[in-house]
Structure 1
Amino acid sequence: MTRALRVYLLTLMALLLAAWLSLLAFSEHPLMLSGLWQGDDMSALIVRDVRLPRMLVCALVGVGLGMAGSLLQAVTRNALASPHVLGINQGAGLFVALSLGVLQRWQLPTLAMACAGATLSGALVMLLSGLHRGRASGVRLVLSGVALSSLLAAMTDGAVMLNDELGVSIVAFMAGSVDGMTWQDVAGLWPWVLCATLGALLLAHPLNLLQLGDEAAHALGLKTPTVRVLCALLVVVVAGAIVTYVGAIPFVCLIVPHTARALLGRQDYRLVLPLAGLLGGVLMLLSDALSRLVSYPFESPVGIVTALIGAPFFLYLTWKQRR
């Protein structure tokens, strides 16, 4: 491990601690560390049953989004690829809205519906952009994703209008929020993020070979279609699980892989993937802290904060690619 990387990791740990302290101090019921040390039962209860589950969900979501963004950018070899930009999150969100609203009486599994929506939207983007034939330019891929995202967002609005009772809750859910997370949510989310993380790390070396180009990777014995399918499955599963529990969190999966590669100074996915996961967790915790600060003592959806951070970054990447 280089000295620069050690400094970055220590900085990330300091940011994690700062985010944790801010989550204790800035909320509807602020807590002081002195209350915890003195054995305040109410403070301990709030930390154990309210704050800690929320923080763990934030960290899990950040890790999952960091992995998903890194995988998509690796298999497409496109710096603008992410589940949100390509409409994968919106597809999952539409199917979740349908399962909670229009199709509620059928009691369909929400996670299965989210994964189905993510799979369908991802396949449509591949077809529209020509990615499945290796003909997708960066601009064409993004335009296809933006067009599909707009269509899916309109369809989600339509699904919300058909159900007046759940309309407001669905809209708030799709804004991306970690409010009200419990240990049950942690237990439901962590297995999917863990599976996606382990799968991504196992694919790190094949992803390095894939960056050489399909022909070179094939000459080295890599089955490129298999690698792409496995990566797509991991992205669909983790994106579907995250949307099911916290809604669509935009741009984290776009920002984090670029930051990881910039910090490392190279594109070695054996290092990029774990660092992207760590950065994703830090970004989500800091965004959650900011979402409490901007409207204190009330809360804003964390998805709004990540959108405010990520939208300028996305425009910068688009401008950079055009040059």
Structure 2
Amino acid sequence: MAMSSDDYDYNILFNGTENMTPENHHDLTTFQVYLSVCSILIFCISMPCNSFMLWVLLRERAWKITSDVLLLQVTVSNLCFTATLPFLACNALHGWIFGEWACGVTRGLSFLGLNSSALILTTMTLHFYFTVVQPSCFPGQMSSKSRVIVASSVMWLMSAAASIKLAVNSRVISFGNMEVCTIWIESLTILFIELNMEIWVFFFIPFFIVTFCYIHMWIVKQDRVNSNPQPSKVISGVTAGFFFCLTPYNIHTFVESLIIVGAIEYRVVWGHLMSHVVYVTFTLSHLYPCLNPMFHMFRVQRFRRHIPMPCITSIKRMDGATSDTTVQFMSLNNTDV
């Protein structure tokens, strides 16, 4: 039997917190502090690193290279998500003090960064896949660039539409002794549909596409991938890291959606289990914006040469003639690969 709206608290799905009751007040307070500290730490790492990535890409006119257009968009997506973390920390620790309008904007921007990152990374993988497996599909770099720009526009429109819908459903509600910004949907059936659309469109379907592409490239076309090992490791690491970080969160949310409609019987033990699992899912789901700049700053020479560190000089000598192009693995010109 499905639960009523009075039996279920939506905050565990969108905020990682359970309903504030005398029995779990201490645990909730502990998690609020944990959530705030993690959010600020991730913000302090992700914001400067992604800003550095954006600066390098704009400085080197990244929009002229097809593959860098996608990398530039991933960086912008990460910045959109990262910019909301201080507000999330304040929301968890002190309540929402910025007003109803800012609540919707913050929630919408957060989901925009999350959803667009999944779609853009999937497009990067598909671009890499067709370059390696079916290079004849793209007759030229300019043709590919036009297609990527069109595909990017569609992805951002899809992400924006989903994010706006969630932003409209954002509310500042009383939660214990303070007000918090959260996603609030009155009907549990509508909530179940919204959650599953979000999970499948922006996670599971991209996950299946990426998995197929890499299995096909690494097993069927292994000789082509290995001919350019370092760049493939960079994009593989970023993509694998993204899905690794988001998988626990999406599985957790999917299980919660099944509890909503009564497919899984709700028990008190589930509530205690979720309250502990959310420590892991929250941390991983908010850590992914740090992965892209970390991989590129320490693995790609074009970014390392802009870092004023003494060890960079020795690393450059070890690299020798290594290419300094960020993502030439997706270039369609064989001379670039």
TM-score w.r.t. structure 1 length?
Answer: 0.29
Larger Rg: 2
TM-score w.r.t. structure 2 length?
Answer: 0.28
Which gives a bigger RCO, structure 1 or 2 (Cα 8 Å, sep 6+)? Answer: 1
